Amino acid sequence: MKNKKDSRRGFLRKAAVAAAGAVAAPSILKAGEGSGFTLASQINEPFRLKYAPSLGMFRASVGSDDPVDHIKFCYDRGFRAVFDNGFMGRPVEEQDRIAAELARLGMDLGPFVLYADFAITSFVVKDEEKRRMILDLMHKGVETAKRTNAKWVLVVPGRYDESLHRDYQTTNVIENLRYCAEILEPAGITMVLEPLNTLNDHPGLFLTGIPQAYLICRAVNSPSVKIINDLYHQQITEGNLIPNIEAAYSEIGAFHVGDNPGRKEPTSGEINYKNIFKFLFEKGYSGTICMEHGKTIQGKEGDEKVIAAYREVDSY
């Protein structure tokens, strides 16, 4: 029979263990906040929105460069989309393998880059040779998209022309995009225009802001010409992210994300992605959110930190 002193010691030990558990519980439940810890029950749970890792983002964890292996890994970790800016440059056989695996798993492919030449004026000028070049690309993009069941192509409409008034350039962009829409619409393919920041990354480009892109899309007036809102670029260019999403929402087809400064995973910088994703979820947004950013840590640890960060910002 235990004496009173032993019973008291046992009670104190149990109380200490309970107290430690109470302190630890909140940190365990907050997946993605610094520790990179994720609840086991969350590992395979689909995310609420279609966050789309780039093919190759989790190379350290996948252990190969095979895009199909990357797609399987992303699916197993809860992602229901991927994106590949360089999809057009892959061999046809590889494109077809990617498309088949995405179809098998019911995953989406985010917009792939069809045209993004930062060195020349193209859409901003009235030039028959450049227009033929643009329209030839549209035909090639449609061919690739239809063969692989892709729905979105991405275009950056080139450099600003210092010798031509901005309003004339805007008119030329609208006219060129209307020609593009005549090719894209019958095929059911949507082009998304990407405004980019000129302060840090891409000086000299024509398309820089969401209001500017919204004006152009409304003027083109085609379901096949929309905007891809890169929130990293727009935090630098104009800020006011949620109000600009709201104002231009009817013309936004997809998103790119990356935190600022640094263009790394959400939670690494100043952008409140949890509030932004909550806003998109409540709007009923069902498109892709392409994870166009780097990682604060390399290797498998960095992969897990990225995934944990998305679990955190998806937990609204």
CA 27 to chain centre: 28
In this prediction, residue 33 has a pLDDT band, given cuts at 50, 70 and 90, of: very low
Share of the chain above pLDDT 90, in %: 86
Tell me the per-residue pLDDT of 176-193, one tens digit each, with 9 for 90 and over: 999 999 999 999 999 999
- Mean pLDDT over 88-114 rounds to 98
- Mean pLDDT over 66-92 rounds to 98
**What is the Cα–Cα distance from 257 to 233, expressed in whole angstroms?**
9
Least confident of 22-31, 236-245, 255-264: 22-31
Tell me the per-residue pLDDT of 187-239, one tens digit each, with 9 for 90 and over: 999 999 999 999 999 999 999 999 999 999 999 999 999 999 999 999 999 99
How far, in Å, are 23, 81, 195, 221 from residue 250 at the CA level? Answer: 46, 22, 16, 11
In this prediction, residue 44 has a pLDDT band, given cuts at 50, 70 and 90, of: confident
User: For 290, phi and psi rounded to 5 degrees?
Assistant: -75, 130
pLDDT of residue 4: 43
**Mean pLDDT of the chain, nearest integer:** 90
**What is the Cα–Cα distance from 294 to 147, expressed in whole angstroms?**
30
- Mean pLDDT over 98-107 rounds to 98
Helices 273-283 and 241-248 pack at an angle, to 10 degrees, of: 20
- Mean pLDDT over 302-308 rounds to 98
Which tops the pLDDT comparison, 2 or 296? 296
**274 burial level (CB within 10 Å; 0-12, 13-18, 19+):** middle
- Mean pLDDT over 237-255 rounds to 98
pLDDT of residue 37: 41
pLDDT of residue 15: 42
- Mean pLDDT over 136-165 rounds to 98
Which tops the pLDDT comparison, 254 or 5? 254
